[in-house]
A = this chain, B = another copy of it.
């Protein structure tokens, strides 16, 4: 199906039915993305203020066969928010639809518009005495509609699930411009196919999420944070099992940190306070959120003692204050910035079955070493089996020196992940970066089903063309 650009004639037609204020000349930021791999295009930039305006915009695009790129906070890492090729699209930014429409503390429910910034959603929940647990580095910029469209992960998945698991209902504009009013506040509703979960994670290719019903949780009565030095990744996994046996759902986060990451930090961000004078090869950051009647520091001390006895941990620090807790988390949260300053040859957002993590790291390191002189920083959400396995040049060399090896490194790592039953995009999505990976690694029967779904719901192919599936 041939698409047409969002040209001057289309812009004029839009202005016949929509108010002037909906449109703005596009600033460069709408055509950029954080990793600087693509330059997007923009024929028309629309900033609707209501679902009805979104509906009118999409209906007009459908009538004119004009591509539509939904835009949230612009923090996606796989190019889902920029359309560099084909006819110039209409970008529909949800930033003005940022209201919290309602909070129902008794129900542990909030209704937020798609353009609400994640940190604001967290804050609104906290002000109502509740927790919205989705938490990730970009939370000050990312918007909840984008978080849902990419099924964002982050650091609290172990306990609370991905963005998908935190959504009860949606309001969305489907590719024909019609509005689905599905802002259910229900915990149970078995009436037909799960359209909600089809739109969640579809990266804007099946419609535009305009608002969502979100699950809230009780706030833990007390929190605790510790860093334990572990022998190796296998010990980290056994420690996680031990922690969950002792503390059940009380384990909120369990992050693996490699010595390489700490050394990168020391080199590039020396002001970040490090927990150990000499970076250990492996450590884990443990976050607890416990119910009333339990003391997180005591629980962490018990855990450390048991881990020491079992030979799983040989050193550890338990935060004694909020400031120390912040310090520990600051280390974890600055690792990506340290990586950026070193400059990765290739980064991989992968997951494997949790029990296979040690084997994956060992085989991955061997494979990467076979391709040349590299350093690996492997870190991330161990409790979810989700690792960021990033490959760097050796000291004195830059990623430019390895430009011709990027493809080989990525392919080798992804092949290993696939062979081990893993995913080559654990939390970032497919966007435009991983369309070929999806084709290569997805079960072919599933891939055909995904294509059939796309054709059924967006027969004109106007929604975010080129993302997820090849047009």
Which residues of A are interface residues toward B (Cβ below 8 A)? Answer: 104-109, 150-151, 153, 157-158, 161-162, 164-165, 174, 178-182, 184-195, 197-198, 200-202, 206, 218, 220-221, 237-238, 241, 244-250, 289-294, 299, 351-355, 381, 383-386, 421-430, 434, 437-438, 441-443, 445-450, 452-457, 468-469
Contacts and interface: CB of A to CB of B under 8 A. Distances in A.
A120 B98 CA distance: 47
Contact of A427 (B157, B188, B351, B446): B188
Given A105-B241, A180-B443, A198 B194 contact: yes
A446 B289 CA distance: 38
A438 B220 CA distance: 39
Contacts of A189: 351, 423, 425-426
B352 A186 contact: yes
B165 A445 contact: no
Contacts of A455: 456
Interface centre among A182, A245, A246, A293 (most CB of B within 10 A): A293
Nearest to A179: B445
Given A180-B449, A186-B351, A456-B453, A164 B299 contact: no
A182 to B, nearest CB: 6
Given A198-B197, A354-B107, A385 B186 contact: yes
B197 A446 contact: no
B157 A187 contact: yes
B218 A248 contact: yes
Q: Which 7 A-B pairs have the closest CB atoms?
A: A456-B456, A197-B197, A189-B423, A248-B291, A185-B353, A188-B426, A187-B384
Given A249-B248, A354-B106, A453 B457 contact: yes
Contacts of A178: 445, 448
A424 B164 CA distance: 23
Given A353-B109, A449-B195, A218 B190 contact: no
A333 to B, nearest CB: 19
Contacts of A430: 190-192
Contacts of A434: 191
Nearest to A181: B443
A470 to B, nearest CB: 12
Contacts of A354: 104, 106-107, 185, 187
A297 to B, nearest CB: 13
A379 to B, nearest CB: 15
Contact of A193 (B206, B250, B385): B206
Contacts of A381: 188
A122 to B, nearest CB: 18
Contacts of A188: 153, 157, 162, 351, 381, 384-386, 423, 426-427
A72 to B, nearest CB: 15
A442 B193 contact: no
Given A182-B443, A434-B191, A445-B179, A355 B107 contact: yes
Contacts of A108: 244
Nearest to A177: B445
Contact of A428 (B190, B244, B250, B386): B190
Contacts of A206: 193
A355 B186 CA distance: 11
A353 B104 contact: yes
23 contacts: A106-B237, A108-B244, A158-B187, A174-B449, A178-B445, A180-B445, A180-B449, A186-B385, A186-B422, A186-B426, A188-B427, A190-B201, A190-B429, A193-B198, A193-B454, A195-B449, A195-B453, A197-B197, A245-B292, A291-B294, A293-B293, A453-B456, A453-B457
Given A197-B198, A292-B246, A442 B353 contact: no
A245 B193 CA distance: 34
A355 B427 CA distance: 34
A182 B165 CA distance: 19
